[in-house]
A and B are shown apart, each in its own frame.
Chain A
């Protein structure tokens, strides 16, 4: 048995126990470690540093570079669209430019970059200062661009201000609005500090049982989750483990929170709480309110660190210090990597085998027909099952940043889902009940062109108001937050179809 002694090196009961390998094995490993250490001599320090700098640096990304603290006057939570779009735009620009850091902002209709918030061509435009190949001498930094000086969707503010701005979940009480699930990404941080990223997935409680049922979650557990009253963490954990016996929970921290008492402010409350836990890297937070189950996760920590270490909040801008590892590779991979459309954009990293034996298997195809629960199922499935291959998805206004590893990206909106597997894009639409396959940006765009615009979501409406207000939708005063109530919901995926893979 494993004991709880802090130094349970031999904390296995003797010999070959049912609980583990023979204890001698770890003694053997320790001896082997010592031998390996003894036979390893370090190269000269300076040469080592130079060699490390000249490499890609991907291993070092995970710890990031601590940035100087220039104040903590504000905590900022930025909507998924604004924040991630900022990142992606910045990255696209960054790849195209050499030189010093560039400040980037969200593109909007009136902005200089509004015609092409994300370049259709992932290959840097030489006219825009693209520099071609990447130097081995170090990471490239972004240069000036036409995307500068565009404001973030949500200007910085205090926690209270941000709470007021974000407000409650407007759709929860909107009976005419079907919410299948929300997957949201926020960037939070303080002035002058590296940003933090939070992903929140929420599912209406009314759909929970169905959604979990689609994932073969035991009925009684789904009922427990959907029921009123405090959540029993033991029940929840065992239920999740039962439903996802593979690696889903092995790589996650499970934390239970019951936010029912926070009532209509739960959305902001959850985000605030998640933000407070980021340093602990809690990655799975099933929780519940009277109306909603929320599962919040941050994305892969090393990837997030790698990205966020390069983002610094400066006033109402995000500064991209240099190109996050991974993204330059992403953007270097021509049309198989950055896929954009007028209303949608999908990103996928360089190919990683879907059936990599080291990771969970990921289907290459998803097709969704009727039912918001199908969307919920996919979003949840997406989040829970793909532990090492986190998808990007996406719609212009609902970017999701995942790890840079996945070979799958999928997203959905208004009856259409798209997945990417091995860089083949399969889209199915209920407009004509046909499945289309695309393998390039051009084909994907062609696919999207057949999609009718969606009923504006709350986020869409917020964007419209934002532009109508010349980028000053919420102003800088807390009292203006009241106007934001109900308008700042970020990502709403409405699907009218049924699961049918």
Chain B
């Protein structure tokens, strides 16, 4: 059944969706934690979190140059919207994910080997990198946000603009696909 048919919802401004309603616990979200200080200026946020957001974007698009552009555009959006954004961390993360998705739509997957295999399982990790990059974007984003960024499902759902149940589905399918590829 419809979850909500209140007229007020129809009147809800779009911007509401761009703003996280609650800050996450600091230990749950390093980026969010670093941005939790409300006294932070956008420049301080930028200096502190630029690298980490670029890293996130690289995991999503596997291209440093594009990743940096995505993050810079995210900060530009934040700069323009600063007065309306109560949770810069969530805002920036959503910008990065949306930017990654846009990039994904506009190109074929091409590997740039920004995620070289390391460690004792190099061979398998390299394979997994390839598989991860080839996953549908939202599956990839869900996996990265959950297992790399360590976000709870609710936050992932917010970033991706889906329900938490969908996050679980995306994660499940992403994992299954990676397993399937590994077994080939």
Contact = CB atoms under 8 A, between A and B. Distances in A.
Contacts of A52: 69, 72-73, 75-76
Interface residues of B, number: 95
B167 to A, nearest CB: 10
Nearest to B28: A7
A65 interface: yes
A41 interface: yes
Contacts of B147: 9, 26, 29-30
B98 A63 contact: yes
Given A52-B73, A59-B99, A358 B51 contact: no
Contacts, number: 250
Contact of B161 (A32, A60, A188, A301): A301
Contacts of A190: 11, 13
A57 B73 contact: yes
Nearest to B44: A45
B153 A6 contact: yes
- Among the interface residues A33, A254, A255, which one has the most CB atoms of the partner chain B within 10 A? A33
Contact of B121 (A24, A63, A278, A305): A24
B9 A276 contact: yes
B115 interface: yes
A480 B85 CA distance: 41
Interface in B73-120: 73-77, 79-81, 84, 91, 94-95, 98-99, 101-109, 114-115, 118-119
Nearest to B58: A36
A25 B2 contact: no
A60 B14 contact: no
A397 to B, nearest CB: 25
A20 B168 CA distance: 13
A20 B28 CA distance: 23
Contact of A33 (B6, B95, B148): B148
Q: In the complex, which range does the number of interface residues on chain A fall in?
A: 35 or more
Contacts of B171: 2
Contacts of A189: 14
Contact of A55 (B73, B77, B105, B170): B73
Given A250-B139, A302-B101, A28 B77 contact: no
Given A250-B170, A279-B17, A60 B56 contact: no
Interface of B is mostly: helix
Nearest to B52: A37
A19 B163 CA distance: 22
Nearest to B92: A63
A341 to B, nearest CB: 29
A196 B124 CA distance: 45
B46 A42 contact: yes
B55 A250 contact: no
Given A37-B55, A40-B54, A60 B74 contact: yes
Given A33-B56, A37-B54, A67-B15, A257 B138 contact: no
Given A30-B148, A63-B18, A277-B9, 9 more contacts: A26-B143, A32-B59, A33-B59, A36-B54, A57-B73, A59-B99, A272-B10, A276-B10, A356-B108
15 contacts: A16-B182, A33-B55, A40-B50, A49-B79, A57-B76, A59-B69, A62-B102, A63-B81, A75-B10, A196-B14, A253-B163, A272-B5, A273-B2, A309-B14, A357-B108
